Structures are given as structure tokens and as C-alpha cells.
Amino acid sequence: MFDIEAIRSDFPALNHHQQQGIVYLDSAATSQKPQCVIDAVSHFYENGNANVHRGAHRLSSDATKCYEQSRAKVAQFINCHANELVWTKGATEAINLVAYGLTPLVGKDEVILISELEHHANIVPWQQLAKRSGASLRAIPVDVDGIINTEQALELIKELKPKVLAISHASNALGNIQQVETLIKAAKAYDAFTLVDGAQSLLHLRPDVKALDCDFFVFSAHKCLGPTGIGGLYGRYPCLEALEVFQTGGEMVTKVSIEQAEFNPPPGKFETGTPNIAGVVGFGAAIDYLSTLDMEQVREHEMQLFTYLHQQLAQFSQVRILGDLNNNIGTISFVVSGEHPYDLATLMDMEGIALRHGHHCAQPLMAALGVNGTVRVSLAFYNNQADVDAFIAALANTLEMIA
């Protein structure tokens, strides 16, 4: 049985929020952290705190061991080899790394294909690659509710024959789960490089990168119970080898003279300088924690909450719900006619509800939907029905106040 109260007790901030009268419904922005993650970070600084890969002393050796063990844990979690996993500051840096590294491999007049659903982090780096290379950037459109028509997307891939396909596994703004396997397969027929933005899917869907068959997969630890400032890039090893180095400096080199440098093989050639060691260790603890859970039960709990949230929210006639409600990670975006999302979110905060408003770093999507922003409720497995009930009661009060 999925014991939600036992789960919630693992997250100290949730207890603090409850004491403060706050309900946290903003996990798409950042997830809460279980005590074991907090303890792992504290333990490293209190008992180790040595640099990795650089010292012969025991503290450095122990730190390196923990650091590389975390790499192995995350690699196993997403089903790849450890040497295919590059540590980055997060999904944003990982996408930038790939977009920059592909510069010599993308030619003039070739096509980089994304979708209108993308987070700015999966748009702007490709804009810059298009400028450097002379390629064109195109986007798969969404319908009036923010849903991609897969058949239309496949036709566009067939027409454009893209050199790069970069698409989110799940939308940060709407929660839509994309049929990325189908789109990747189609793009690969034209030898495209394929990248999946897994920032939102890592926690909810436990993606298998081999099953997705993508060339690159990016993620951020803080959206998957881990610390901020750490994330990763999975790359099919030959694809990592083909990328140009993104940043240069110490640690990522094997030999340096005044005239030139020789770089480590992947993943080392992309990991320059002293890394976020404590963050990596904390993320390893987050993966350990997730690995103790039955992910089918986790997913079932999230979907039960999501269905209940949708049913309750649909009772308000003035509320318009956006996105794909049949294929969703547990996020609902909505608008209220005549009301600005900022005003709604501010009033909801006064009721103790922590959620997100605005364009969610997805301005092209908002333009496609014809709205200036939305109010977003994003669930995680540590939420319960009482959280949803509190949100619905607060929304009812807010709508009555502004009527």
C-alpha cells in the first residue's frame, strides 16, 4: 500500500509548511527534499569536504568514490552507462552544452525542429545555434488547448527532414506528456540528432533513455528531490564523442602545453573545474530514496490526485483548463476570464496556497494559446487530497472575492 502519511513525514519542509498554514503545489518549479537528501549534503560537508579526482589522500579518495557512485546510481535509474552521463548545473546548461557542441555538425539551410510547448531553455540555445550555423529554427504547432497533434508532427518531420529534433518529454507549463518515442523514430529516419528535455519527466515517469532511443536526454536534480545547482546530460557515447567541448579549463584535460591541450574522453571532457560535489552526493541520495518506492504506486497516487483536482476544478464555470488532461504528469494550468494570473496567484497566496503564475518560461506557448499567462497547480507524490481540498476552497474564496 502507498502510505502517503509515511511519505510526507520524510519531507521536513512539508511539516513546516503545515505549521505555517501553507500548501505547496509548485513542484514543477522545484520539488521538496526528503530528509535523507538534506542529511547526505550535510554529512559531506561535516565529515568529508574534499575535492574529487585530484588528491591521493583518503578524504579526496572517499569524496571521489561517493561522487562516482552517484553517477552510477543515476545512470542505472535512467538505464545508461556511467560514461554516458555528464554532470552539469542542470537541464539548461546541458541543452546549451549540446547546442554549442553540435555547431560544426549543423550546416547552413538545415532545420532545427522544436515545438511550441518548449521551455525557453529548449528554445534560446537552438536560436543561437541557428545563428551560428545558418540553420533555420522551426516549431511543431499546438492546438487551442496546447496539445500537439502527433500525426501533424510526423508530417512536419517528413517535410522538413530536420538535422536536430529537440522536444520536451513533458511540458512544464501544461503537464502534457509527449509521444517522444514516435517523433524520435521519425526524425532518425533522416539521421537527425535527437534531444529530450526530461526536466519534468524524470520524477514522474522514470524515463528509460534506451527505450526512448534518443541521442541526448537532459534533467535537473532539483525537480527530482535533489539539490539545486546540479543536473545531467545523458548522451549516446558516439554522440558525446562528436560534440565540441563547451567549456574549458582544469580537470577536463589530459595534457596541456602553452600551445595546445588534449581533452579527456567523455564524460570528463565536459566536466571542467571543481564540480558541485555535495549536490551530486545529495542527488545520489535522492535516487536511493526513489528507488525504495514502487513507481507504479507513485504514479497511480499522482494520477488519482490529478483526476480529483481536475474534477473539482471543472465545477467552476469561469475556469478554463488548458493542456492534455489524458496524458499528463500531474500539472494543471488554467485561466479565469477577465482576471490576470498574477492577481489570482497573489490572492491564493493570501489563502496559504503556493502555486505558480505567469508564462512559465514558455512565452511562445502562451502566444499560441492566446493568453498572457496561466495559473499552474503542479502535484507530486507527496501531495494528498487535503492539499487539493485546501486549494479548491481557496480558489472558491478568491473567485467570490473578485466577482
163's grid cell: 538535422
CB atoms within 10 A of CB 392: 18
Residue (of 275, 213, 229, 205) closest to 93 by Cα position: 229
Residues 6+ apart with CB under 8 A from 8: 14, 15, 382, 384
How would you classify residue 169: left for phi > 0, otherwise alpha for psi between -120 and 50, otherwise beta?
alpha
Residue carrying C-alpha cell 536534480: 221
Which residue shows C-alpha cell 548522451?
235
Residue 263 forms beta bridges with which residues? 253
Judge if the upstream peptide bond of residue 267 is cis by omega within 30 degrees of 0. Answer: yes
Identify the CA nearest to 199 among candidates 187, 191, 207. Answer: 207
Residue indicated by cell numbers 512539508: 14
Distance CA 36, CA 93 (A): 26
Long-range contact list for 354-360, CB < 8 A, 24+ apart? 354/17, 354/22, 354/23, 354/24, 354/25, 354/26, 355/25, 355/26, 355/391, 356/26, 356/28, 356/29, 359/173, 360/119, 360/172, 360/173, 360/333
Of 36, 214, 224, 361, which one is the catalytic site residue? 361
255 C-beta neighbours (distance < 10 Å), count: 8
Q: Which residues of 170-180 are buried (b: 16+ CB within 10 A; e: fewer)?
A: bbbbbbbbbeb
Q: Which amino acid, one-letter code, is at 295? A: M
Backbone angles phi, psi at 137, to 5 degrees: -105, 125
Active site residue 361: yes
User: Is residue 83 within 8 Å of residue 237, measured between CB atoms?
Assistant: yes
Half-sphere exposure at residue 138, Cβ-oriented, CA atoms within 13 angstroms: 18
Is residue 99 within 8 Å of 130, Cβ to Cβ?
no
Residues with a catalytic annotation lie at 361
